[in-house]
Amino acid sequence: MKLENNLSKKCKIFISVITLFISFSLISLNTCANERGEVYLVTIKGTIDLGLSSYVKRALEEATINKAKAVILEIDTFGGRVDAATQIRDKIMNLNVPIIAYVRNRAWSAGALIALSAEYILMDKSASIGAAEPRPADEKNISALKAEFVSTALSRRRSKDIAAAMVDKDIEIDGIIEKDKILTLNAEQALTLGFTDGISSNLEEVLDFINFKSAEVVYIYPNWAENISRFITNPAVSPLLLSLGFLGLIIEFWTLGWGIAGSIGIISLALFFGGHIIGGLAGLETIILFVIGILLILAEIFFIPGFGLAGISGITAILASIFLTFGNIVQATYSILIALIISIVGFFLLIKFFPSTRTWRSFVLSTAQNKELGYTVGTRDLERFVGKKGIAITPLRPSGIAEVNGKKLNVLTRGEYVEINTKIKVISVEANKIVVEEIETSN
């Protein structure tokens, strides 16, 4: 019994020593890391989009959690989405870690706002900053963006007039910028005017400026999800995916059934939403609305004749989900309008020119079944239906099935849509194609 008590005490002492050792090691490692002074480097390069905003916010949060001594934003951008830039700006302004903006080549437009939000601005000797007039340059957009630039400049003790002149061409500053011109400063000008804090030719000089020359630099790179999100949320790619999605759905409404066009459309829209969801830019409500919209459209195509409440509700749900995904009504409106214009123009070009292409001819049998070529089945039996009346037993989009004189025939219209159970009339027979039109009924 005494031996067991001794063993128990020894075990407790051993466990206590191990616990103290581990705790001491963790504290020592944390202390060493802080003494070493890690500086985080975040790259803001290329078009500023919502995917970039997601990456920068994650990097800044990681720097805060790991108690970084400072964060360097290496900026080289022509600009991009203002909403993404303001998200980055807000995150920087609310951070307790010193932020240094290092303009490698240029910080134009939305990039200038990000640089302006940093505590210090350093520029390469060949860099420039400014050129922030919004597009479209209407009074509302200019007023809103100018207010962002001015308030950011004031909070960082920089010239509000210089900041405003980068956005509004009506701002005139003697000896600096004339009226009707947008201000862009090179490195020497910006330093002379006190708008920036120094000129640095490389990262080592930036570290020397903030007295962290011997610090360990931690590079934060975008992960695979953020790279995908950046590509899909790019202002040029998003409308393209929407265009392909809309075009595929339009083609499926025009034709009977479901095919390759509809599948491509669904895949394009799924990529659009998926990219925004991966980047944390869209929530569950957008997925639900999108899925409901697709289900309603599929129900319209397969189960409900004609085009009515289900189809309209489905399109409305999809458009609402797109607006929610963008989070910015102006950006969403422009993207949807661009996508609709491209898809409608693409659709009309497709139906006009595609039937004459080699690809179309490989799918369609265009040989006429003439008697001279050895065919024994001619069109004489079909010609007896010319002038006869019947009823559409499927929607004609423009092709479908109609019943004429008790016979079910494959027919097509001259392009117009005819609902099910509509009275029709055979107007011509072209080879083996039976062309019909809707009979107008008087009330």
Whose CA is closest to 266, among 278, 252, 284?
252
Query: pLDDT band at residue 7, thresholds of 50, 70 and 90?
Result: very low
Give Cα separations from 347 to 3, 255, 322, 399 (angstroms).
90, 12, 21, 17
How far apart CA 21 and CA 18 sit, in angstroms, is 5
320-341 pLDDT, tens digit per residue, is 887 777 766 666 777 777 777 8
What residue type is 217 in one-letter code? V
pLDDT above 80 for 25: no
The 10 Å Cβ neighbour count of residue 190 is 24
Burial of 227 (0-12, 13-18, 19+ CB in 10 A): middle
Predicted local confidence at residue 363, as pLDDT: 46
Predicted local confidence at residue 8, as pLDDT: 59
Regarding beta strands 70-77 and 39-45, do their DSSP bridges make them parallel or antiparallel, or are they unpaired? parallel
Predicted local confidence at residue 211, as pLDDT: 87
Which one has a higher pLDDT value, 390 or 282? Answer: 390
**Mean pLDDT computed over 362-374:** 49
Does pTM top 0.95 for this prediction? no
Give the three-class secondary structure for 325: helix
What residue type is 139 in one-letter code? E
Percentage with pLDDT > 90 across the chain: 30
- Do 237 and 46 meet the contact criterion of CB atoms below 8 Å apart? no
How far apart CA 281 and CA 323 sit, in angstroms, is 12
Place of tokens 């002492």: 13
Predicted local confidence at residue 110, as pLDDT: 93
**What is 371-438's CATH topology?**
OB fold (Dihydrolipoamide Acetyltransferase, E2P) (2.40.50)
**Mean pLDDT computed over 145-160:** 95
DSSP H helices, 220-328, are: 224-232, 237-254, 260-278, 284-302, 309-326
Which one has a higher pLDDT value, 126 or 400? Answer: 126
Q: Which tokens belong to 435?
A: 């062309």
Mean pLDDT of the chain: 79
pLDDT above 80 for 311: no
Instruction: Report the residue count for the chain.
Output: 443
Query: pLDDT band at residue 306, thresholds of 50, 70 and 90?
Result: low
**What is 24-222's CATH topology?**
2-enoyl-CoA Hydratase; Chain A, domain 1 (3.90.226)
Predicted local confidence at residue 251, as pLDDT: 73
Predicted local confidence at residue 33, as pLDDT: 43
Q: Which residues of 364-394 are buried (b: 16+ CB within 10 A; e: fewer)?
A: eeeeeeeeeeeeeeebeebeebeeeebebbb
**Which of the listed ranges 183-187, 290-294, 323-327, 412-416 does the model predict with the highest average pLDDT?**
183-187
264-302 pLDDT, tens digit per residue, is 887 887 787 777 776 666 667 777 888 888 788 777 766
Query: pLDDT band at residue 304, thresholds of 50, 70 and 90?
Result: low
Q: Which of 105-109, 259-263, 289-293 has the lowest mean pLDDT?
A: 259-263
Backbone angles phi, psi at 382, to 5 degrees: -80, -30
What residue type is 259 in one-letter code? G
